[in-house]
Amino acid sequence: MKQCSCLSLGVAAALGIGSATSSHWAEASGFALPEISAAGVATANALVANPEEPGAFAYNPAAMGFHDSSSLAAGVLFIDPTFSVRTATGSHDSDGASWVPAPMLQGAFRLSDNWRIGLGVNAPFGLETRWKLGTFPAMSESIPIPGAPISLPAGLDHPDQSKLELFAVVPTLTYRINDQLSIAAGADYYNARTVRLNTHVSRIDADGQGWGWNASLLFKQDAWSVGVSYHSAATVDVDGNLKVSDPVLVALGSSFQQDVEADLKLPWRLQLGVRYAVNEKLALEADWARTGWSKFEEIKILSKATGALIQRNIENWEDANSYRFALTYQLLPATQLRFGYSYDETGADDDFFTARIPDNDRHLFGLGVGHRFDDGWALDASYMYVRFKDRNYRGNKPYLPGEDVNGTDAFDGKYEGHAHLVAVEVRKSF
């Protein structure tokens, strides 16, 4: 029985207790990254009801129906996050990557007076956290083995690195019903090229893919426009390799490595927006978005060879809202100024809190400029500042090594964070 207990602890260590989708460079609730065009960054993602801006295509493909030309846009989003936690051992920074790039590609092609086809490539989910050993004291000490002259190594459950790199390919078909109404539908292909869950003594690297679908509409009447966009929930089938590198765990019988699999549940996303053109220069938009984080219930890691359950981590997130507001001002005939603000709620409550996704409510402030050149060329540049609300977390249950660490007092601390985002996008209309 003692050996079995040790083995289970070793397996838990190999998995890296927590979620298979953790990171901190996502800039909406959870691990979502809704900033998928430069115009969207400037308007704090309040763009779903805009029939005039090509940068809205990524948010609402139905907007393509209100444009008579075809276009190709290519851009990149750079994300620079800062995140820290104060625990009993002092203040600690999460040493994730700085200025992480994410793609923003969008093609819109006019097939006829009524039909358009689009293709987008972006990164709607992703993040990274790195916590040094000693950040969380309860998980940084060696665990004695009853009746044995050895101890399990420090860092058994301590989250070392969690990383998700995921991009989406989104083909869509748009039909313009009349001068006021356009609808669209398409597919969401997700490719998780990196899913990494590490502790101080173990590693798990995986990748995977999955499918979802999307639908949208845009209605315009005089100065008013209304937009709706929906992306379904999706499951990404993840396959990878688990390695236990610590010699003590190997000696106790933990497999040095084995193939594992898991299902990564991505939430559905609904966005509703209303836009009003005050005059030829000034327009205002207000959006409400809801993310179906209740789909993110648990992570189960299974042996690929036997199907046996290796680790189960409970997440039990809740659906969350975002409130978004934007203002655009046509400064010159070819130059537009953009401003935005969003308040995003978190879907993670204290009952299952994890430092792998140390999420909290946040404020997003965006600004930017768009300029159109001759011969159909355009350039968009934008900046966003994200401020996380401080989170003073105190777990309501004690940490027990080898059991699910989410929601325990092992993660007690004051969490703080902010991020800078810069986006640049070039577009050619033809």
User: What does the pLDDT look like over 212-258, one tens digit per residue?
Assistant: 999 999 999 999 999 999 999 999 999 999 888 777 777 766 667 88
Angstrom distance (rounded) from CA 325 to CA 342: 6
Q: Tell me if 111 sits within 8 A of 69, measured CB to CB.
A: no
Tokens for 422?
Answer: 């810069």
Q: What is the pLDDT of residues 182-214, one digit of tens each?
A: 999 999 999 999 988 888 888 888 999 999 999
Per-residue pLDDT band at 95 (split at 50, 70, 90): confident
Given a cut of 90, whether residue 168 has pLDDT beyond it is: yes
3-state DSSP call for residue 134?
coil
∠313-363-62 over CA atoms, to 5°?
Answer: 85
- Helices assigned H by DSSP within 71-183: none
The span from the CA of 322 to the CA of 29, in Å, is: 8
More confident residue, 382 or 200: 382
> Given a cut of 60, is residue 388 above it in pLDDT?
yes
Looking at CATH, the fold of the domain delimited by 2-140+162-429 is given as Porin (2.40.160)
Please state whether beta strands 71-87 and 413-429 pair in parallel, antiparallel, or not at all (unpaired): antiparallel
pLDDT mean across residues, the chain: 88
- Is residue 344 within 8 Å of residue 28, measured between CB atoms? yes
CB-CB contact of 155 with 161 (8 Å): no
Q: Which candidate, 251, 158, 260, places its Cα nearest to that of 201?
A: 158
Extents of the domains making up the chain: 2-140+162-429
